[in-house]
Amino acid sequence: MVTGSPSTHLSHEDSCFLTARGLSKSFDGALVVDDVSFSIGRQEIFGLLGPNGAGKTTTIRMLSTVLAPDAGDVTIGGHSVLREADEVRKTIGVCPQELALYEELSARDNLVFFGRMAGLGRREAKDAAAENLGFVGLLDRASDPVRKFSGGMKRRVNIAVALMSRPELLFLDEPTVGVDPQSRNHIFETILRLRDEGMTLLYTTHYMEEADRLCDNIGVMDHGRLIALDTPVGLKSAIGDPDEVTLEQVFLNLTGRSLRD
Amino acid sequence: MLRPLSIAWIELKRFAADRGALAFGLALPVALFALMYGAFGQGVSFSATANMVDLDGGPVAAELIDRLSTFDGLEVEMLTEAEADEALDRSQILTAVFIPAGFSDRLETGEPASVLFKRRGSGGDTGQIVSQVVQGVAQDIAAQFEIRELVRSRLDGRGVPEAEIAATVGALMEQAGVAPAIAVEIRAVGEEQNVLDRLIPGVLTMFLMFAATISAASIIVERNAGTLERLLTTRLSVNQLFVGKFLASTGRAMVQALILLSLAFAVLRVGDAATFVQVVAFSLLIAAAVSSLGLVVAGLARTEDQATWGSVFLTMTLTVFSGTFVSVGETGVMGFLSRLTPNKYAIDAISDILAGSGGLAGQGPEAAILGGIAVVGFVVARVAFRTAQ
């Protein structure tokens, strides 16, 4: 287990698809992300966990080129997010926490539009939209406006949009918030299938059993710092028998029981 | 260029898909047109009410009221003293004319008499006109009595009956009316001024400004919905995003402006087909300028409310300073301020095109200024947006 020191995880960075070094970001003088370093191997599902306000979303925004870090750098597929943002954007897909969709438009129109923005041609975008809607089980509802969809269906469209750029690295920021067990299970299957097809995924969630089930490695953030970094089994072993200890116990042990904003 | 066009296309598609927004967006120009037509479509004429209080009840007061009631466009409303005072207190009326008790007797006996004109503040434009009309009619009647007194004093002691004096004075007054010492000749030159020729440019500019600035606020809506952030992780550049939003905002404003102009030209007949094309072409330039201003507001705003109210504030301020509905003249502080607004150049150009003076080709300076506003606004909006990020 690595706690507060990124050195172990950076030791094999040559084989990693994503490497973050010393990432820091402040807003109005408040340090939101503080010297965060970690790396993610190809075809790995990396879980980024932490209480509300821990700095997870800000970290993802820096990794996905939306925010420039105050210090540090990230390379994705060998490209720096600071100096080669356009190249980085060709390799990533982002599924934000919000349902970032145009609700008045059909699922197909949403996918085709974002596909076009990702650089696909018209025909290519239409084909990719059909393929990805099929992938998330919504091809038969392709023409329906998104506003008519249930919460779970919207979450699946949200993921399908992120897949339109055919990314090598997919960011999934709390993709299962507010969905029923059936939809959640469908999303899990989708994530595992994507990994099996060669995709690398960075996943954030507040549901510890999800992280335990899906993630190959987990980083725990609190107060802007990366305070633990290991496999789920490694994290659990640090406080007891990994077959007895839950990831939630590990999480509370690391981040405390006080309420967060 | 394809990505900005895709942004603009999807924006217009969203506008069309949102039935509420579509109905409101299309109904607004129709409603505005209906208001203009109702207010000005039937022409403009003087119309006012003289609120009269007759405390005298004598024949001269009756004659004064009778003459006022025959004045073109003036309607006489009789009130009691209490009614008039209360209505003035409540600002239900702005003026009232009080004919005091003994008014007729004093004039009959050759003594000076007066009427009381009460008004709230200045009495308003209409009140001032009514005041002048009442004064004119009262002086006319007073002159008649002065002449009668003069004639009576000249004939005093010569045994001329009073009825003969009155008849002589009446004849003299009638003659003076037919052939006055100073005649005022009214000669019509050209056609009657069309109020719409002045109103349409102002309404069109204000409407374009509302439509463009409010739709430009869609950037804030996208930021709140998360779609903006999603777009920024694609290969779309911020410049392409802004060009797309600019095109969408301009396009949406033009759709609504076309409805307004089509109705105005078809129903009110403010110009021919060639004029229509020229007005539409110049409207495109106005829409581009105000779309850029809308993007500035959207770039500076942090919330949807700030963007919406910022747009309303900007539109109303520029409308007032430009003298869209109330002339502010060319000189003084207001004249100077009006030259700082895009509205003034837009209104001047559209007015010229509608009046047939210079046409589209003659609006070079105005076009240059509006084009400059479009470019500078775009750059400022882009910088403001980068700062907000």
Domain limits at B157? 48-178
Strands of B48-54's sheet in order across: B74-78, B48-54, B95-99, B116-119
pLDDT in tens, chain B (389 residues): 688 899 889 888 888 888 777 777 778 777 877 777 777 666 556 678 889 999 999 988 998 899 888 888 888 999 999 999 999 898 888 889 999 999 888 888 878 888 898 888 877 777 888 888 888 888 888 887 777 777 777 777 777 787 787 777 777 777 766 666 676 676 766 665 566 666 788 888 888 887 777 766 778 888 888 898 899 899 888 889 888 988 988 888 898 888 888 888 888 777 888 889 999 999 999 999 988 988 888 888 888 888 888 888 888 888 888 877 766 777 788 888 888 888 889 988 988 888 877 778 788 889 999 999 999 988 998 888 765 55
Q: CB of B98 within 8 A of CB of B118?
A: yes
Q: Is residue B187 part of a domain?
A: no
Same domain? B296 vs B383 = yes
Q: CB of B205 within 8 A of CB of B347?
A: yes
**B353: Cβ contacts below 8 Å, ≥ 6 apart:** B275, B278, B279, B282, B359, B360, B363
Residues of chain A in contact with residue B3, where contact means CB-CB under 8 angstroms, are 116-117
Q: What is the ipTM of this complex?
A: 0.84
Q: How distant is the alpha carbon of residue A165 from its chain centre?
A: 15
CB contact under 8 A, B225 and A96: no
Nearest CB neighbour to A89, from listed B10, B226, B234: B234
CB contact under 8 A, A116 and B226: no
Residue with token string 């995924």? A201
Q: CB of B252 within 8 A of CB of B209?
A: no
Q: From A116, which residue of chain B is nearest by alpha-carbon distance?
A: B3
Q: Could you say which DSSP state residue A101 is in?
A: S
pLDDT digits (tens, 9 = 90+) for B316-349: 888 888 877 766 777 788 888 888 888 889 988 9
Task: Please choose, from the candidates A128, A71, A60, A62, the residue with its C-alpha nearest in 3D space to the C-alpha of residue A95.
Answer: A60
Helix (H) / strand (E) element for B210: namely: helix B195-216
pLDDT digits (tens, 9 = 90+) for B178-197: 666 676 676 766 665 566 66
Q: From B218, which residue of chain A is nearest by alpha-carbon distance?
A: A102
Q: CB of A69 within 8 A of CB of A82?
A: yes
Measured CA to CA, the distance from residue A224 to residue A55 in angstroms comes to 5
Task: Please choose, from the candidates A55, A38, A84, the residue with its C-alpha nearest in 3D space to the C-alpha of residue A223.
Answer: A55
CB contact under 8 A, A66 and B232: yes
Same domain? B37 vs B52 = no
Q: Could you say which DSSP state residue B360 is in?
A: G
Hey, of B9, B234, B238, B245, which one would you mutate to test binding to chain A, going by the most A CBs within 10 A of its CB?
Answer: B234
To the nearest whole Å, the CA of B242 is away from the closest chain A CA by 14
Measured CA to CA, the distance from residue A63 to residue A43 in angstroms comes to 17
Residues of A with CB under 8 A from a CB of B: 61, 64-67, 86, 89-90, 92-94, 96-102, 104-105, 109, 113-114, 116-119, 145, 161, 165
Same domain? B90 vs B170 = yes
Is B325 in a helix, a strand, or coil?
A: coil
Hey, of A102, A108, A124, A177, which one would you mutate to test binding to chain B, going by the most B CBs within 10 A of its CB?
Answer: A102
Q: CB of A137 within 8 A of CB of A190?
A: no
Nearest CB neighbour to A94, from listed B2, B6, B230: B230
pLDDT in tens, chain A (261 residues): 343 444 344 445 557 899 999 999 999 889 999 999 999 999 999 999 999 889 999 999 999 999 999 999 999 999 999 999 999 999 999 998 889 999 999 999 999 999 999 989 999 999 999 999 998 889 999 999 999 999 889 999 999 999 998 899 999 998 888 788 888 888 899 899 999 999 999 999 988 899 999 999 999 999 999 999 999 999 999 888 888 888 888 888 888 767 666
To the nearest whole Å, the CA of A38 is away from the closest chain B CA by 21
* Among B130, B145, B178, residue at a domain's last position: B178
To the nearest whole Å, the CA of B200 is away from the closest chain A CA by 34
Same domain? B360 vs B216 = yes
Nearest CB neighbour to A98, from listed B3, B10, B225: B225
Tallying the residues shown for chain A, one arrives at: 261
Same domain? B249 vs B270 = yes
Report CA Rg, chain A: 18
Same domain? B244 vs B368 = yes
Measured CA to CA, the distance from residue B98 to residue B52 in angstroms comes to 6
Q: From B4, which residue of chain A is nearest by alpha-carbon distance?
A: A117
Q: Could you say which DSSP state residue A167 is in?
A: -
How high is the pLDDT of residue A110?
Answer: 96
To the nearest whole Å, the CA of A140 is away from the closest chain B CA by 20
Measured CA to CA, the distance from residue B322 to residue B290 in angstroms comes to 14
Q: Is residue B299 part of a domain?
A: yes
**B11: Cβ contacts below 8 Å, ≥ 6 apart:** B215, B218, B244, B245, B248, B249, B251, B252
What CATH number did the domain enclosing B84 receive? 3.40.190.10
DSSP per-residue string spanning B13-43: HHHHH-HHHHHHHHHHHHHHHHHHHHHHTT-
Per the structure, how many domains does chain B have? 2
CB contact under 8 A, A102 and B2: no
Domain boundaries, chain A: 7-255
* Among B152, B178, B204, residue at a domain's last position: B178
Same domain? B151 vs B219 = no
Measured CA to CA, the distance from residue A167 to residue B241 in angstroms comes to 21
Nearest CB neighbour to B229, from listed A66, A99, A109: A66
Q: Is residue B189 part of a domain?
A: no
Domain A7-255 grouped into CATH 3.30.1390.10: no
Going by their DSSP bridges, the two strands A30-41 and A16-27 should be labelled as: antiparallel
The angle subtended at Cα B34 by Cα B33 and Cα B38, nearest 5°, is 120
Q: Is residue B115 part of a domain?
A: yes
Q: What share of chain A is helix, strand, coil (3-state, %, to 5)?
A: 40, 25, 35
Residues of chain A in contact with residue B229, where contact means CB-CB under 8 angstroms, are 61, 66, 94, 96, 100
Q: Could you say which DSSP state residue A261 is in?
A: -
What is the sign of the dihedral through the CA atoms of B153, B158, B162 and B164? negative
Task: Please choose, from the candidates A183, B382, B137, A248, the residue with its C-alpha nearest in 3D space to the C-alpha of residue A191.
Answer: A183
Nearest CB neighbour to B235, from listed A86, A104, A161: A86
Q: From B13, which residue of chain A is nearest by alpha-carbon distance?
A: A105
pLDDT digits (tens, 9 = 90+) for B95-150: 899 999 998 888 888 788 888 988 888 777 778 888 888 888 888 888 877 777 77
Same domain? B167 vs B225 = no
Residues of chain A in contact with residue B235, where contact means CB-CB under 8 angstroms, are 86, 89-90, 117-119
Q: Is residue B331 part of a domain?
A: yes
Residues of chain B in contact with residue A66, where contact means CB-CB under 8 angstroms, are 229, 232-233, 389
Nearest CB neighbour to A89, from listed B10, B13, B235: B235
Which of B266-275's residues contact partners 24+ apart within 8 Å by CB, and which partners?
B267/B33, B267/B37, B267/B41, B268/B36, B268/B37, B268/B41, B268/B196, B270/B194, B270/B196, B270/B197, B270/B200, B270/B354, B271/B354, B275/B353, B275/B354, B275/B356
